[in-house]
Structures are given as C-alpha cells and as structure tokens.
C-alpha cells in the first residue's frame, strides 16, 4: 500500500540533514510552507543551502530559519522585499552567501534538475554582470549563456489539496515554484490544506503527479504570514 501521509510536521522534516540543499516554495507569502519551515527550525539541521525566490519576511518562516543561522547560502532572484529585514542584515555583515539568479533562469534550472537535464543555454543575462564567469555560445547569430540544472535533496512545498498518492492541486498564484520544486528534489515534503480520498482529484486536473512527492502532512489552517508580521510575531 502506498500512503505518503505522515502525522506531523516534525515527522515530515525529520530526515533533513546538515548541509542539505532545500527548495522552499513560495513567491512572497503566497505558497510559502510556513509550518514546514518552522518544523525545520525545531529540527535544527544546519549549513543548509536554500533555494527560494525571496528570503522571507519579518521574523517568521524562511526569515526565521535564516535568523536561526541554519542557512549558509541562499539561491534566489529577489532577496529583498518590503518586509525583509533578516537577510539584508546578515548579508551586509558577510555572514550569509548569496547566489543571485534571474527569476526565469532560476525556474528553468529547477525544472531541468527535475527533468534530468544537466544544463541549458538562455539569452537571459547576456551582456550583464550576471553573465560573468559563465560560458557564452552563439546560436544562429545570437548569444546565449550556459546555466546548470539545479538538483536538491529536499523540497518544502505548500499546496491546497493532496491525496495519499501525493497527487497535488494548488491555489491560485500560490502555485508558483511548487510543481517544479516537487520534481527536482530527491525528497519532496508537502503541507496540504485538504487531504482527499483517491479519485476525488480529477485525473485531468492533477497539477503535480504523485510520483514527485515523498511525504504529505495535513495543515488545515496554515498561519497567515502577513498577519503574523502585522502582529510583530517572531518564531524564534
């Protein structure tokens, strides 16, 4: 029998080891798996490389994971947002590494990692500072930069609905990086608002096929990051 449902967020993240590469879904708050990130803070794995579009807000979720000094390197496209305070401070002090990647290149690197494609060429960043040190090749008279696929050890994902096979549906723009991150991690850990019986998700509508998912945990009422930030809440 296949049953990917686990009973707690702590059980869900228990395999994450020191030095792991961890993908974290979300675009700002939308799609950010706050409960799984907080469980990772409790779990305590260190020296992580985290791949996420942003660096978290306030003192909750990804920002709290960084503040707790569990992240040695961030790979992201936009590390500062209006409420981002933790990462900028550590970065200015030279206490956290940053690999800045254009957003589309980041998405494609993750997708390729999941699809078994080691590298690809793209025109994005040609002639800019982000091209430096990268191979440039011409195809049909146009220049392209070589970028590498990104494989990870773990992915932490928020979705709307899951079944015990790990088939997933998302909610609106909270989908963002979720589906491609599920594909490129060796072990994908998902928090779902709703868990349904097999067959209740229309096979025509499945967004992430269950083969890409390792564990699912039920979080019926995920916290609102915006609300926690407006209350000045700190997870640490």
Partner 1 sequence: MNKNVAGIWSREQMAQKIAEDIPDGSYVNLGIGLPELVANYIPADREVIFHTENGLLGVGPSPKPGEEDDELINAGKKPVTAIKGSCFFHHADSFAMIRGGHIDICVLGAFQISEKGDLANWSTGETDAIPAVGGAMDLVAGVKTVFIITQHFTKNGESKIVKECTYPLTGKRVVNRIYTDFAVIDVTDKGLYVIKMAPGIDFDFLKKNTEAELHLY
Structure tokens at 196: 């349904």
Binding of partner 1 by 226 (CB under 8 A)? yes
Nearer to partner 1, 21 or 86 (CB): 86
Site size toward partner 1, by CB under 8 A: 51
User: Does residue 85 belong to the site contacting partner 1 (CB under 8 A)?
Assistant: no
Q: Which stretch binds partner 1 (CB under 8 A): 36-44, 64-72, 149-157, 223-231?
A: 223-231
Residue with tokens 């590298």: 119
Residue closer to partner 1, measured from CB, 66 or 174: 174
- Residue 49 near partner 1 by CB under 8 A: no
Q: Residue 23 to residues 93, 125, 141: CA-CA distances in angstroms?
A: 24, 23, 36
- The mark string for 146-175 relative to partner 1 (x by CB under 8 A, - otherwise) is ------------------------xxxxxx
Binding residues among 102-141 for partner 1 as defined by CB under 8 A: 102-108, 110-111, 122-130
- Cβ pair 169, 194 in contact under 8 A: no
User: What is the token pair recorded at 48?
Assistant: 């992580």
Rule CB under 8 A: is residue 214 a binding residue for partner 1? Answer: no
For 99, phi then psi, to 5°, come to -110, 110
Question: What distance, in Å, lies between the first and last C-alpha atoms of the chain?
Answer: 39
Q: What's the full length of the chain, in residues?
A: 236
CA separation, residue 212 to residues 26, 57, 192, 224, 232 (Å) = 18, 28, 15, 27, 36
Contact residues toward partner 1 (CB under 8 A) are 27-31, 77-82, 87-88, 91-92, 98, 100-108, 110-111, 122-130, 170-180, 207, 224-226
């Amino acid at each position: 029998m296949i049953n990917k449902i686990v009973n707690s967020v702590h059980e869900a993240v228990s395999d994450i080891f020191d030095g792991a590469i961890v993908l974290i879904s979300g675009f700002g708050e939308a799609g950010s798996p706050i409960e799984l990130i907080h469980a990772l803070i409790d779990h305590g794995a260190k020296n992580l490389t985290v791949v996420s579009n942003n660096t978290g807000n306030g003192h909750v979720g990804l920002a709290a994971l960084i503040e707790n000094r569990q992240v040695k390197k961030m790979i992201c496209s936009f590390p500062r947002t209006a409420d981002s305070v933790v990462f900028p401070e550590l970065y200015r002090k030279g206490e956290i590494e940053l690999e800045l990647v254009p957003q589309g290149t980041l998405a494609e690197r993750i997708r390729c990692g999941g699809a078994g494609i080691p590298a690809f060429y793209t025109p994005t960043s040609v002639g800019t500072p982000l091209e430096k040190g990268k191979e440039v090749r011409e195809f049909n008279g146009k220049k392209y930069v070589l970028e590498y696929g990104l494989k990870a050890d773990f992915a932490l994902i928020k979705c709307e609905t899951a079944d015990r096979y790990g088939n997933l549906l998302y909610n609106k723009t909270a989908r963002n990086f979720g589906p491609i991150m599920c594909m490129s991690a060796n072990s994908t850990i998902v928090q779902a608002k709703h868990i349904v019986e097999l067959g209740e998700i229309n096979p025509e509508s499945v967004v992430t096929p269950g083969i890409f998912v390792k564990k699912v945990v039920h979080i019926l009422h995920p916290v609102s990051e915006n609300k926690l930030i407006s209350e000045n809440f700190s997870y640490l």
